[in-house]
Amino acid sequence: MEKINMKTPLVEIDGDEMTHILWELVKEKLILPFVDLKTEYYDLSIQNRDRTNDDVTIEAGRAIMRLGVGVKCATITANSARKKEYSLKNTLPSPNATIRSILDGTVFRKPINVKRVKPAIPAWKHPIIIGRHAYGDVYKNAEMTIDTPGKVELVFTGNDGSERRTPVADMKSSGIVQGIHNYDDSIRAFARSCFLYALDERLPMLFAAKDTISQTYDARFREIFADMYETEYKEKFARKNIDYQYALIDDAVARAVKSEGGFLWACKNYDGDVMSDMIAAVSGSLAMMTSTLVSPEGHCEYEAAHGTVQRHYYRYLKGEKPSTNPAALIFAWAGGLEKRAALDGTGRLAEFAQNLRGATLQTIESGFMTGDLAVSAGCVPLNSWEFIDHIAGVLRDGTIFDVK
Ligand code: NAP
Ligand code: MG
C-alpha cells in the first residue's frame, strides 16, 4: 500500500523511561508503515533537557506555536531523587508547566471508554471531561522557608511607583510561605476555551472553585466565568439545550460522583491535576485518559495523561517485557495526525487517524489488552509488544481477532 503523505510536519516531543520505549514502538509498528511521517523532532529526555539547560523545552513549545500541532511523550519532572538518579546539573522545571505557559492554554482530559471495562462508579454512563486551566496558581509559585519568627507580607510595587501591602502571617516560629498569581486574560482564555469546547461537544458545563474561602482569588475566577457566560454564551448554550453552572469544589466532587457523567468540568490548575487522575482511575485505568492542551489561538498539543510509568521501566531494564498500556499514547498520535489533517485538508491522513483509534478500541473490545485493564475485564493480559502487534494486525488487514 502506498504510504499516506503529509503536507506539513507536526512537532514530535519525545520523553522518558517506559513511555519513551513505547513511543518508539508505536511509531515503528503503527505509524511509519502507513504514513510518510513528517515531524520536527525535539528530544525532551531528562538528559537532553539537562544538557541544554532546558532550552530544548522552550524551543519545543515555540515550535507548537509555529506549526500549530504537537504530540508529546511523558517526561520526568525532576526532583532531588531524579537529580541524583540521572546525575543532573540542575533540578529542571516541569516541562509540561513550561509548555503550558508558552501556549497559555487549557488542558482537556477525556477518558477513553471501552464497553469491556466498567467504571468503578456504576452510575457513570458517559465520560466526564476535565477542562484544566494550564497557567499559574501553584504551578508558577514562589516559595520560601522561614527559619526565625517575623512578619510575612504580600507587597505589590506598581511600575508607577505605587505600593500595596497585605499581611500574610505573623510567624511565631519556623515554617513555610508561598505566593501564587494568575492573570485576568489567562482566566478569560481558559473560560473561553471551556465554553467553546462545551458548545462544540454539546456538553453541559460546570466550573468549581473555593470562593467562600478565597474571596478575592477564586472569586475572580467565578466572576469572569459568570460574566462571560451571561454576555457571550448563555443564548448559544440555550439553543443547544445545555447550561453552565458554578459550584463549590467540594460540592462539585459530590455531584460528579452521583452523576451519570456526560459533562465538561472546568477546573483550576491544581484541581484539574487531581480530579483528572481520579476520573481516569474510576473509568478503568490511568492509561485510558487523553490530554489535549489547547491555546487560545487553537494550537494543540496531544499527550497521554499518565507519567513515564517508572516502575514498569525498571522492570524493563531488568529484561522483562512489561504490560504497559500504550492506548493514551496511541490516541495522542491519532489526535495530532487528525488535527494536522484538518489544518492541511488531507483526507487520507484524517481517515488513518480514525482507523488508528478504531483499531486500538477494537483490539481491546475483542479481549486483547494490557494488565491494567485485563483484571477487571476478566482477560489474560498481553505485554505491550503483543498488544501493539495486535493493533498493527487490525490496522493492516482489518483482522478482527477472536475473543480470548
Ligand atoms: P505514572 O507514570 O502515571 O505511573 C503511576 C502508576 O500508574 C504506574 O506505576 C502504573 O501502576 C500505573 N500506570 C500509569 N500509566 C500506565 C500505563 N500506561 N499502563 C499501565 N499502568 C500505568 O506516575 P508516576 O510513577 O508517579 O510518575 C513517573 C514519572 O512521570 C515521574 O517522574 C513524573 O514526574 C512523571 N510524570 C509525567 C507526566 C507527563 O509528562 N505528562 C505526568 C505525570 C507524571 P502499576 O505500577 O501499579 O502497574
Ligand atoms: Mg498529575
In CATH, what number is assigned to the domain containing residue 204?
3.40.718.10
Q: What are phi and psi of 208, to 5 degrees?
A: -130, 140
pLDDT at 115 over 90: no
251 and 196 together in one domain: yes
- CA-nearest of 188, 184, 201 to 237 is 201
Domain shared by 305 and 389, yes or no = yes
| Sheet with 39-43: strands ordered across | 39-43, 10-14, 69-72, 300-304, 289-294, 106-111, 129-133, 264-267, 205-209, 244-248
**Which residue would you say has higher pLDDT here, 378 or 38?**
38
CB 96 near ligand 1, within 6 Å? yes
Q: Taking 80 as the threshold, does the pLDDT of residue 403 lie above it?
A: no
Domain boundary among 245, 262, 283: 283
Ligand 1 within 6 A of CB of 327: no
User: Do 63 and 3 form a contact (C-beta atoms < 8 A)?
Assistant: no
- Report whether residue 75 contacts ligand 1, using a CB cutoff of 6 Å: yes
Distance CA 147, CA 149 (A): 7
Is the shortest distance between the CB of 79 and ligand 1 below 6 Å?
Answer: no
pLDDT one-digit tens code per residue, 164-215: 999 999 999 999 999 999 999 999 999 999 998 898 889 999 999 999 999 9
Amino acid identity of residue 145, one-letter, is T
Which pLDDT value is given to residue 402?
Answer: 45
274 and 317 share a domain?
A: no
How high is the pLDDT of residue 195?
93
User: Whose atoms come closest to the Cα of 375: which ligand?
Assistant: 1
- CB of 76 shorter than 6 A to ligand 1: yes
**Calpha distance 133→194 (Å, rounded):** 9
Cα of 377 vs centre of ligand 1, distance in Å, is 21
R_g of the chain computed on alpha carbons:
22
Domain boundary among the residues 152, 179, 206 is at 179
Domain span holding position 167: 142-179
Whether pLDDT at 111 is above 60: yes
Taking residues 249-255, report their average pLDDT.
94
Task: Tell which of 225, 250, 283 closes a domain.
Answer: 283
Q: Would you call 3 helix, strand, or coil by DSSP?
A: coil
Same-domain pairing of 213 and 229: yes
308 lines ligand 1 (CB under 6 A): yes
Model pTM greater than 0.95? no
Pick the more confident residue, 118 or 213. 213
Ligand 1 atom with least separation from CA of 94:
34
Is any atom of ligand 1 closer than 6 Å to the C-beta of 309?
A: yes
Q: Are 35 and 124 contained in the same domain?
A: no
Q: Is the CB of 325 under 6 A from ligand 1?
A: yes
Residues 148 and 228 in one domain: no
Q: How many structural domains are present in the chain?
A: 3
Q: Evaluate whether 130 touches 279 at the Cβ level (below 8 Å).
A: yes
Which residues pair with residue 167 across a beta bridge?
153
Q: In three state form, how does the secondary structure of 317-380 look?
A: HCCCCCCCCCHHHHHHHHHHHHHHHHHHCCHHHHHHHHHHHHHHHHHHHCCCECHHHHHHHCCC
Atom of ligand 1 nearest to the CA of 22: 18
Q: Is the pLDDT score of 84 beyond 70?
A: yes
* Residue 113 vs residue 179, higher pLDDT: 179
Grid coordinates representing 244? 453552565
DSSP state of 381: B
pLDDT in tens, 22-61: 999 999 999 999 999 999 999 999 999 999 999 999 999 9
How many angstroms from the chain centroid is the CA of residue 291? Answer: 3
Q: What is the pLDDT of residue 398?
A: 62
- Report percent pLDDT > 90 for the chain: 79
For residue 278, the CA-to-ligand 2 centroid distance in Å is 10
Cα–Cα distance measured from residue 318 to residue 297, given in angstroms and rounded to the nearest whole number = 45
Ligand 1 pocket test: pick from 57, 88, 308 the residue with the most ligand atoms within 8 Å of its Cβ: 308
Least confidently predicted of 83-92, 152-161, 241-250, 385-394: 83-92
Ligand 2: distance of its center to the CA of 356 in Å? 26
How does the average pLDDT of the chain come out, rounded?
93
Say which amino acid occupies 184. D
297 CA → ligand 2 middle, Å:
25
**Between 222 and 288, whose confidence is greater?**
222
The atom of ligand 1 lying closest to the CA of 372 is 20
Our mutation pick for probing the ligand 1 site, out of 285, 306, 313, 320, counting the most ligand atoms within 8 A of Cβ, is 306
Percentage of the residues of the chain whose pLDDT score is greater than 70? 98
| SS3 letters across 86-99 | CCCCCCCCCHHHHH
* 216-229 per-position pLDDT tens digit: 999 999 999 999 99
**Ligand 1 centre distance from Cα of residue 199 (Å):** 32
Contact 2, 365 (CB under 8 A): no
Q: What is the pLDDT of residues 120-131, one digit of tens each?
A: 888 888 989 999
Backbone angles phi, psi at 70, to 5 degrees: -135, 155
Compute, in angstroms, the gap from residue 208 CA to the centroid of ligand 1: 26
Q: Predicted confidence band at 404 (pLDDT cuts at 50, 70, 90)?
A: very low
Same structural domain, 248 and 304: no
